[in-house]
Amino acid sequence: MIKLPDLVLDYHRLKTPIDHLDRSIPSSKLDLEVFNRTFAWWVMSSGYDVIHHESPNADHTYSLINRVMTNLAYVTISRDGMRMPVRNQYPTWNSLYTHEMYTGASTSDHQLVRWVTGTSTRIGYEAVDLPDYHYGYGISVAGSTFKCYRDRGVVKGLLTLTPKFTVTDTTFASGYFGIGFVRTTRNPYLLLTLYLPPASQGVRARAILEVGVASSGQGKYHYAPDLASELVKTEDGQVIDLLSVTNGAFEFSEKSPTNIVMVYDGNPYRSDAIERQREYARKKGLRALAPPRDYSEAVEQYSKLEKGFPHWLAGKDNYAYQALGWEELELFAVVDFYYGELIEHKTHYDQLKRVPDLELERDLKMWLGKLEPVTVLTEERDKHVEKLRKVLKLGW
């Protein structure tokens, strides 16, 4: 794999001398309220970095907000070639999540991709073929949960809709957010992107499948879940996949022989696509599970599965939320994320320490304020309230 150096054009360095070596803006210099801000506001307030990478196959450019953050949502206008950076690990080379619109894919044009030093893994996608049209795109990131949204007409209210798919991934706990594109020089929506608080409404899984690891179709070092496919060419030359399904991975690892994905919908072409995916898994001797009906069933299912996936860091509440979509369960999962990363196992402690202290404290208090009024699963609620209070008391 060839790794060419990035060309970094530092707008902020030209604007004012940088006096913060970790590239985050001190709280005394920037309003702590990061939500309900446009990218234009960030440009005016703190500057931004432009990172441009060229390779023999493609080039991509990211404009990054000059501040490390953990939980954030955005809505924007997207079209073919947009690759929105999420938790970018700059200056580490090409390590981040990207929320993408790629019309060259076969019935999977709306994607979430994880990149680790240039190796990509498609960890979630919507089973859709999109024309190069201007769509409302959005993502909500909270703890280890990623929810992806798309609509043809709605933009500002996009996060009030049901997400297309949910992904659970613990590779990166914080990083830079921004705007990006690939295979093109246009980026007309730089100033239209709006950053918002994370949204908690989820989507319920219709199937839970054990899958192998396959190539994403983009060459070596590019991975995806091994799902059944039936590719056909339409009259206008487009290649579509009649068996594609909308799905999101749970802690996908290309090093694991198998992984778990949750299926949320079929595709516009065949009504039996989800059932065909179940059959495909069973023929390979893999599990095709019925989604849990409630929290207790989700916890039981997680307990049985985790024994076969020692790399899982996300817990039972992450699994339950991704399967059931109940808003309260995401609150539990976010608390477990902070408790684990700041007190318990501290796997990504250094990543979270890059977030300004006062901003991290604000985030914790925001989640506590959402959690305390919860009126269901009260025993679990109380346990998680105590966890959050312990984090706030002990600090980091």
Residue 134 included in any domain = yes
Q: Give residue 54's pLDDT.
A: 60
308: tokens are 């076969």
**Residue numbers of the domain that contains 31:** 7-326
User: What pTM value is reported for the model?
Assistant: 0.91
Identify which of 58, 49, 97 has the alpha carbon closest to the alpha carbon of residue 80: 58
Residue 286 included in any domain = yes
Q: Give residue 255's pLDDT.
A: 96
Residue 291 included in any domain = yes
pLDDT digits (tens, 9 = 90+) for 175-195: 999 888 886 555 555 567 899
Mean pLDDT calculated for residue range 32-56:
72
Count of structural domains within the chain = 1
Residue 305 has pLDDT above 70, yes or no: yes
131: tokens are 């024309």
The string of DSSP letters for 270-285 reads: -TTHHHHHHHHHHHTT
CA distances from 53 to 4, 78, 346, 388 (A): 7, 20, 32, 40
Residue 1 included in any domain = no
Residue 41 included in any domain = yes
Residue 349 included in any domain = no
Q: Give residue 20's pLDDT.
A: 35
Q: Name which residue leads in pLDDT, 54 or 116.
A: 116
Residue 381 included in any domain = no
CATH no. for residue 231? 2.60.120.560
Residue 93 has pLDDT above 60, yes or no: yes
Residue 352 included in any domain = no
What is the separation of C-alpha 19 from the centre of its chain, rounded to a whole number of angstroms?
31
Residue 8 has pLDDT above 60, yes or no: no
Tell me the range of 43-52, 191-200, 318-327 where mean pLDDT is highest. 318-327
